[in-house]
Amino acid sequence: MNNTFQDLDRRTFLKWGISALATGLVSSPALALVPPLAPKYQVLSFYNIHTKEVLETCYRKNGKLVFYGLKQIDHIMRDHRTREIKPVDPQLLDLLHRIVSVTQPHAPINIISGYRSPRTNAALRKITTGVARKSLHMQGRAIDIRIPGHPTYFLRELAIKLKAGGVGYYPKSDFVHLDTGRVRTW
């Protein structure tokens, strides 16, 4: 009879043992807050609900930002009203990547609102509530999203646990706001 443990080399056996020990010593909520190891390619997929554009692109390779991928993301997240483009904060992209790493969506992230020009932000403030005067959308540091197949309340809870910035929840409009400002919720 073949014994699986006899077939393991010493290194593999030690790795398993250390892993089992670490799992027993650290609670699962604490493990959830440990940043995951960055994959070789960090890829994001988007669908802009206003322009109907779809994009899948690599924005980081081996930990380094990919210029062409960033430019594509800046474009799809532009202010669709004025067509103005502003660079998107790479930390916001990293936050989105952490979220999709957990959710493993079968559809692109739906962009409700990405970059907003000051003119668009002022106009929205006049017609709706919840638009901040100094919105981080105007700095390329915020996005309002949905991910098909994942309830927005779940996305909200996940983003709050990541403690990477502001998280707003708009259940009536069915979207979650994420930003790279200070950690806060509303």
Residues 117 and 77 in one domain: yes
Residues 27 and 82 in one domain: no
**Total number of domains in the chain:** 2
Residues 19 and 56 in one domain: no
pLDDT of 22 reads 42
pLDDT of 130 reads 79
pLDDT of 38 reads 65
Residues 75 and 92 in one domain: yes
> At residue 75, does pLDDT exceed 70?
yes
Q: Quick one: how far is CA 77 from the chain centroid?
A: 14
Q: Report, as an integer, the average pLDDT of 142-146.
A: 98
Write down the pTM of the prediction. 0.78
Residues 28 and 89 in one domain: no
> At residue 23, does pLDDT exceed 80?
no
pLDDT of 131 reads 85
CA dist 50 → 54, 76, 77, 107, 112 (Å): 11, 10, 10, 16, 8
DSSP readout, 157-179? HHHHHHTSSEEEEETTTTEEEEE
